[in-house]
Amino acid sequence: MLRIYSTSLGCPKNRVDTERTLGSIGPVRMVETPEAAELIFINTCGFIGPAVEESVRTILEAIEAAGTQPKAKRPFIAVAGCLVGRYGAKDLAPDLPEVDLFLDNRDLANWAEMLCQKLGLGPAPEGRFASTGPSYAWLKISDGCRHACSFCTIPAIRGPLTSHPEAMLVEEAAGLVHSGIKELVLVAQDVTSWGRDLGKSGGLKRLLEKLLPLPGLERLRLMYLYPAGLTRPLLSFLQEAGKPFVPYFDIPLQHASKNVLQRMGRPFAQNPRAAVERVREFFPQAALRTSIIVGFPGETEKDFQELCDFVQATRFHHLGVFAYQQEEGTPAATMPDQIPDREKQWRRDALMEIQADISEELLQQYVGQTMDILVDAPQGEWPGLFTGRAWFQAPESDGVTYISGPGAAPGALVQAEITEAQTYDLVALVNAEEGE
């Protein structure tokens, strides 16, 4: 059984790539340290400068750990993902000669086969080595992107939209749910674009019709929903679908100012408020999440104030705010009127202060309510305390619910009373009747 030390950096899509690759190279056993491994597998992020720096640092740390082993026992080091896709193996190899294999995103379908060849392993059936625990799993439904936002490196790194086949996704999802996973979280660069490149009618609705009825599936959550893809027919379908669909909408709006959105090249640049209003027309109590970029080139004080007013009025459950990063090779990097880093950071902090108040107010309304909490993992510091999530909390993106009481265990879906609200997190206690 091959001993593997694995690290996945960046987004959940990378995590899925890692799980699919490692699940398709035969029997494996994950180990806690690089020194104990026969294979070190690092799936990198290269989306923005800080992610590139983290990826390089992680590789160098693994190389240093591997170098402490006798030469005959040194692990095989494979570096995969967006760093390789962005800079290429030819440019990376001279600076990282200790790396035995670079795996480019463009060869994603062949990663497992390439590893098996290098490691002298026989062919293995395609599989999935789920690493997120018993409660949830990501389901990546497509790769690449069909949009051309002026700040984004993803199309250059991962190529155009490539939807994964429907049959493959349904089989993978069924296997995950059969293994006990209760929540599936669909991810892609733009989930609403699934199927547009397959020449089949129905798009995302067609796929969801196959996933929603899976026996044992308690929650199905959609992430990365581009505003233009949230059409009335899709929202109507989701409204009628009911459970296990979770009325949680992660819509990466990026800004509220028409001026900034047009400079960003966003596919829905006219009025982001329309997308929010459309969702709330069908789902008045929906939980909304969005991501915002502040300090984009040309963002005026008026643009920023418009953004703050929009966040105040919309009252998102969850908000991610990022200071613009000037990335080489993108159109935005050469735009005039670049904003100083200090000002970008100030704007980020100011917007997050607004959101902190909104989040605390929204969470306070749940105190005293009893709701289903999906338990993810032990909290670690206190025996009997676990982290879990209510329906409006997505894994690894939002706040958590700290939960304790009879029946609370990883993978359990339990009813609990919300006893306390913090700025971004909740505290809950399992009902006594539930634990009996």
Q: Provide the residue ranges of all domains of the chain, joining segments of one domain with +.
A: 2-119, 136-364, 370-435
Helical segments of 265-398, H only: 272-282, 301-314, 341-364
Q: CATH second-level architecture of 370-435?
A: Beta Barrel (2.40)
Q: Looking at domain 136-364, does it have CATH number 1.20.58.1690? A: no
What is the model's pTM?
0.94
The pLDDT of residue 432: 64
Q: What is the pLDDT of residue 376?
A: 97
pLDDT for the residue numbered 40: 97
Q: Which long-range contacts (CB under 8 A, 24 or more apart) does 312-317 make?
A: 312/354, 312/358, 314/273, 314/276, 314/288, 315/358, 315/362, 316/288, 316/289, 316/290, 316/355, 316/358, 317/287, 317/288, 317/289, 317/359, 317/362, 317/392, 317/398
Mean pLDDT by 10 residues, the chain (436 residues): 94 95 91 93 94 96 84 88 94 95 93 94 85 95 92 91 95 96 97 90 92 98 94 96 97 95 83 93 97 98 98 98 95 96 98 98 97 95 94 97 96 97 98 58
Angle at 93 between CA 87 and CA 96, to 5 degrees: 105
The pLDDT assigned to 433 comes to 62
Neighbours of 361 (CB within 10 A): 11
Residue-level pLDDT at 124: 80
Q: What is the CATH code of the structural domain delimited by 2-119?
A: 3.40.50.12160
The model's pLDDT over 304-327, given as tens digits with 9 standing for 90+, comes to: 999 999 999 999 999 999 999 999
Q: Phi, psi (5° rounding) for residue 147?
A: -95, 170
Q: Say what the pLDDT of residue 73 is.
A: 80
pLDDT in tens, 215-230: 999 999 999 999 989 9
